[in-house]
């Protein structure tokens, strides 16, 4: 019998974290890899996690480490370090809950990403390139061919692995044991070989692609019309193997292929989740972690969100103005998505240290990232790594369980979060900038750098403006590039007006259109018909909704709409139906809308200081973040948001408001977290 909601055994996700019966457990976790430590060190390592103020321990369960041969596994019988059940029981004895991640892909800086070598080298399991060759990932310490998300052979192997894990861990699942969350796969961006034409041309994938097209178009005549090919059928259609569009009409076949990759990943995750459930590893919330630059990958949060319960992000950022802006974009979108789903915005991996092949990240970078992500809406995190291990530099706890000096920053952070009950607070933002999935798909397709994926390019600082083809395809301009420039200018204008804003996605358009005071839907001129219909209905209901920079004349595949919408401004509203890419006009519109809709702003000076405000359930301001991402100290003046006093939750400094503002010094690459008082 399933436990009732009031039963102390009941387990569910809520905006504050995990609800266990009547108790809410914040999602504050730390990563410990039992298989990389001597069992004698497990207890001290877990006690170190508790010392950091974390109530959950996260661990991967690596397939390649446990497998001895096909169908034969060691879970401590030969190597005591592999007794994962003993490790989980010990965590429970110490009062910790457990977040388990059994893959099949785990990365974890393991050779072959934790998948057995025999599986990696099985031809039937390998993803294939456009030329029919295995797709190789050049990842230290050894390059290897990546598995196919479509391969039936790989899915069969994965099923056997999950059954083996289930025999060990099923008895330890909540409510009978401490395991309260289970991850489905890991960073599922096609093993970082996620260029649109990089993969997957595996025969099983091509079969699924044909099924996808049959479902999408229904009639072969529709497929022939879209592809301008009177001979094509659902049984012989081939995916594009390079970008070859010369006009807008040609884009459909390429956008369909990119969309199929999104469907393929979500379909694989659904199979993995069913495999976990068959192995007895169900009954707890599931999650998946999107890697950095997730918006440029084939991971569609709408589709993945139908498969797993919680979508989280990975954070490995440095302290700099561009990284501050990227953290703001990613986290604000995550926060909007989680608000729509009534879940906690969670970092499945919040960098505490770095792997040796990453650019070095200092403890200061890690703390800057953590505080900035919290400032823009994060409510829980998993410190990765909390405890040191091989192929990792800079964890706050060493492999013997000893807490290092810089761990004090994380201890202060968790103490501060507990003091203000931060997971119960809310960052209110009046403006949502909604990026449709079709636009992100277009940017992937138009990416001009071949094997260097759009995600990899974004990591090193480039986006659509720098990386997409400049061909206009008969559209009077390179739409992906011009739309990206519009978004960046919109950010600049909103920042200059001190208007709090968040990014949003098409998967939560309903939430943004209902709850934001002003929703700006970014349009390249092509828009999903369902989203366009929702926008039109929202405007008819008097909601403040704007499209920009292009009027939608095409569907998501750049086929002309039968009836383009009539975008007529309401004379009584300050909100335009269409906002073109004209910087001076954009600035005046934002100022007019801000005044007429009476947005609460957060003025701050100098201009490179960023500020976010968090309120409690009654709307009372409780926490103010002041962010200086520059490499010089700043004397900042920031709006007090109605508070009379403020206390720095890290160093104890106190401030009193003067003429409605606080004045304080903010160190270079620094974030002040201020508790507000009456």
Model confidence at 50, pLDDT cuts 50, 70, 90, reads very high
Helix-then-strand count for the chain, H and E: 19, 27
* Closest among 424, 414, 332 to 378, alpha carbons compared: 332
Who contacts 293 (Cβ-Cβ below 8 Å, separation ≥6)? 454, 455, 456, 458, 459
Helix (H) or strand (E) holding 445: helix 437-445
Across 649-669, average pLDDT: 96
* Closest among 138, 149, 132 to 266, alpha carbons compared: 149
- In the predicted model, is pLDDT for residue 527 greater than 50? yes
Fill in the DSSP letter of residue 507. G
Please count the other Cβ atoms lying within 10 Å of the Cβ belonging to residue 39.
Answer: 16
- Indicate the SS3 state at residue 560: strand
- In the predicted model, is pLDDT for residue 5 greater than 60? no
469-525 residue pLDDT tens:
888 899 988 999 999 999 999 999 999 999 999 999 999 999 999 999 999 999 999
pLDDT at residue 462, rounded to an integer:
72
Across 193-218, average pLDDT: 97
pLDDT at residue 455, rounded to an integer:
81
What is the rounded distance in angstroms from the CA atom of residue 473 to the CA atom of residue 445?
13
What is the rounded distance in angstroms from the CA atom of residue 365 to the CA atom of residue 119?
37
- In the predicted model, is pLDDT for residue 195 greater than 60? yes
Query: May I ask the CATH class of domain 604-677?
Result: mainly beta
What is the rounded distance in angstroms from the CA atom of residue 674 to the CA atom of residue 344?
22
Q: Could you tell me where in the chain the CATH 3.20.20.80 domains are found?
A: 11-201+255-424
8 Å CB contact between 497 and 478: no
- Cα-based distances in Å from 20 to 90, 154, 414, 426, 440: 20, 35, 20, 22, 37
HEC profile for 129-160?
CCCCCECEECCCCCCEECECCCCHHHHHHHHH
pLDDT at residue 29, rounded to an integer:
98
Q: Angle 494-498-503 (CA atoms, 0-180°, nearest 5)?
A: 45
Q: Could you tell me where in the chain the CATH 2.60.40.1180 domains are found?
A: 604-677
* Closest among 95, 109, 22, 83 to 57, alpha carbons compared: 95
Percent of the chain with pLDDT over 70: 98
Which alpha helices (H) appear in 74-219, and where do they start and end? 84-93, 117-120, 152-169, 203-217
8 Å CB contact between 87 and 387: no
pLDDT at residue 2, rounded to an integer:
47
452-463 residue pLDDT tens:
788 877 776 678
- In the predicted model, is pLDDT for residue 230 greater than 60? yes
Please count the other Cβ atoms lying within 10 Å of the Cβ belonging to residue 245.
Answer: 19
Q: Which residues pair with 383 in a beta bridge?
A: 30, 350
- In the predicted model, is pLDDT for residue 7 greater than 80? no
8 Å CB contact between 265 and 304: yes
pLDDT at residue 433, rounded to an integer:
98
Query: What b/e readout covers 102-126, taking b as 16+ CB neighbours within 10 angstroms?
Result: bbbbbbbbbebbbbbeebbebeebb
Query: May I ask the CATH class of domain 11-201+255-424?
Result: alpha beta
What is the rounded distance in angstroms from the CA atom of residue 626 to the CA atom of residue 643?
15
Size (the chain), residues? 678
357-396 residue pLDDT tens:
888 999 999 999 999 999 999 999 999 999 999 999 999 9
Who contacts 588 (Cβ-Cβ below 8 Å, separation ≥6)? none
Ranges of beta strands (E only) in 507-602 are 518-523, 545-549
What is the rounded distance in angstroms from the CA atom of residue 10 to the CA atom of residue 187?
29
């Amino acid at each position: 019998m399933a436990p009732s909601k009031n039963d102390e055994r009941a387990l569910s996700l809520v905006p504050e974290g995990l609800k266990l019966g009547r108790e809410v457990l914040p999602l504050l976790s730390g990563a410990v890899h039992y298989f990389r430590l001597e069992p004698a060190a497990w207890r001290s390592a877990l006690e170190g996690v508790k010392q950091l103020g974390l109530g959950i321990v996260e661990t991967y369960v690596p397939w390649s480490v446990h497998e001895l041969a096909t169908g034969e596994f060691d879970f401590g019988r030969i190597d005591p370090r592999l007794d994962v059940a003993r490790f989980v029981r010990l965590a429970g004895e110490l009062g910790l809950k457990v977040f388990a991640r059994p893959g099949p892909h785990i990365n974890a800086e393991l050779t072959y990403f934790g998948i057995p070598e025999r599986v990696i080298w099985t031809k039937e399991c390998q993803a294939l390139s456009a030329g029919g060759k295995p797709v190789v990932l050049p990842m230290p310490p050894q390059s290897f061919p990546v598995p196919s998300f479509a391969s039936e052979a790989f899915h069969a192997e994965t099923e056997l692995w999950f059954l083996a894990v289930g025999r060990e861990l099923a008895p330890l699942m909540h409510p009978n044991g401490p395991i309260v969350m289970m991850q489905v796969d890991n960073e599922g961006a096609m093993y970082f070989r996620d260029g649109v034409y990089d993969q997957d041309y595996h025969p099983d994938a091509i079969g699924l692609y044909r099924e996808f097209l049959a479902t999408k178009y229904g009639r072969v005549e529709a497929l022939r019309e879209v592809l301008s090919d009177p001979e094509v059928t659902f049984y012989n259609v081939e995916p594009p193997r390079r970008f070859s569009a010369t006009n807008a009409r040609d884009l459909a076949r390429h956008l369909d292929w990119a969309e199929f990759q999104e469907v393929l990943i979500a379909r694989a995750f659904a199979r993995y989740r069913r495999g976990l459930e068959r192995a007895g590893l169900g009954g707890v919330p599931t999650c998946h972690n999107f890697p950095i630059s997730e918006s440029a990958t084939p991971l569609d949060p709408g589709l993945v969100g139908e498969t797993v319960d919680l979508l989280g992000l990975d954070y490995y950022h440095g302290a700099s103005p561009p990284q501050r802006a990227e953290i703001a974009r990613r986290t604000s979108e995550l926060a909007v998505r989680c608000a729509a789903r009534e879940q906690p915005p969670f970092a499945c991996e919040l960098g505490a240290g770095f792997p040796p092949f990453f650019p070095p990240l200092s403890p200061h970078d890690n703390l800057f990232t953590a505080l900035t992500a919290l400032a823009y809406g994060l409510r829980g995190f998993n410190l990765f790594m909390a405890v040191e291990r091989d192929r990792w530099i800079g964890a706050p706890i060493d492999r013997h369980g000893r807490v290092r000096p810089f761990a004090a920053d994380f201890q202060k952070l968790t103490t501060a979060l507990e003091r203000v009950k931060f997971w119960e607070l809310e960052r209110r933002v009046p403006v949502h900038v909604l990026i449709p999935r079709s636009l992100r798909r277009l940017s992937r397709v138009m990416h001009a750098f071949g094997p260097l994926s759009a995600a990899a390019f974004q990591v090193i600082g480039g986006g659509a403006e720098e990386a997409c083809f400049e061909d206009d395809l008969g559209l009077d301009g390179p739409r992906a590039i011009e739309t990206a420039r519009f978004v960046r200018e919109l950010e600049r204008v909103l920042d200059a007006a001190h208007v709090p804003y968040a990014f949003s996605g098409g998967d939560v358009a309903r939430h943004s259109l209902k709850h934001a005071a002003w929703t700006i839907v970014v349009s390249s001129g092509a828009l999903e018909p369902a989203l366009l219909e929702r926008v039109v209905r929202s405007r008819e209901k008097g909601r403040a909704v704007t499209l920009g920079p292009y009027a939608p004349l095409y569907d998501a595949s750049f086929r002309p709409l039968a009836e383009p919408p009539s975008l007529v401004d309401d004379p009584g509203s300050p909100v335009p139906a269409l906002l073109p890419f004209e910087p001076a006009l954009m600035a005046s519109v934002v100022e007019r809308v801000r005044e007429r809709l009476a947005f609460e702003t957060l003025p701050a000076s100098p201009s490179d200081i960023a500020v976010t405000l968090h309120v409690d359930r009654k709307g009372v301001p409780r926490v103010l973040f002041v962010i200086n991402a520059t490499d010089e100290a700043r004397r900042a003046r920031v709006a007090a948001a109605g508070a009379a006093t403020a206390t720095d939750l890290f160093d104890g400094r106190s401030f009193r408001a003067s003429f409605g503002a606080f004045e304080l010094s903010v160190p270079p690459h620094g974030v002040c977290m201020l508790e507000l008082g009456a």
